[in-house]
Amino acid sequence: MVNQARKSELLFSGSDWDFAKLSRVYDEIEAIGIEELHLDIYPVQMEVISSEQMLDAYSSVGMPLMYRHWSFGKHFLYNELLYRKGARGLAYELVINSNPCIVYLMEENTMALQALVTAHAALGHNHFFKNNHLFRQWTDAGGILSYLDFAKGYIARCEE
């Protein structure tokens, strides 16, 4: 069980976050997830991104590597317009079913929201991705990034 003596200590106070706080909170959340909830997860790679980077991720279906295509720019401009006009918000996080599991956190999130989103995405989605029978059968978390890199290069060579 997670160290009971630390229950009285606050992990953070205030709404501002920094990387040291994120790391400390992640370590505690991971300990609870693994030791108490017995979650089985991929290693986690957390990235903090801006709203523009999140809009870019939306345009490429969330994949960190993608071939070039004009429609991605079209989707970016459409989503950016809606976001700037206040007609659409952005996700607090984005999770990639890969090994390591890539978790994008929005830099605009408060520290409490970063903690909530970290637990939800880095452990919840991650555990689901790794253990769901359909994901295990139909996806390859260990190979998706290298495949995307291959596909990006292949499409680029085809366009030459």
* pLDDT single digits (tens) 104-127: 999 999 999 999 999 999 999 999
Average pLDDT, the chain: 91
Q: How many domains in the chain?
A: 1
Q: Is residue 56 part of a domain?
A: yes
Q: Is residue 39 part of a domain?
A: no
Q: Is 60 exceeded by the pLDDT of residue 3?
A: no
Residue 15 exposed, middle or buried by CB count within 10 Å (0-12, 13-18, 19+): exposed
Q: Model's pTM, two decimal places?
A: 0.85
Q: Is residue 53 part of a domain?
A: yes
Q: Is residue 130 part of a domain?
A: yes
| Mean of pLDDT values over 26-39 | 97
Q: Is residue 151 part of a domain?
A: yes
Q: Determine the structural domain holding residue 96 and report its residue range.
A: 45-159
Query: ω into residue 100 within 30 of 0, thus cis?
Result: yes
Beta bridge partners of 49: 106
Q: Is residue 21 part of a domain?
A: no
SS3 93: strand
Q: Is residue 20 part of a domain?
A: no
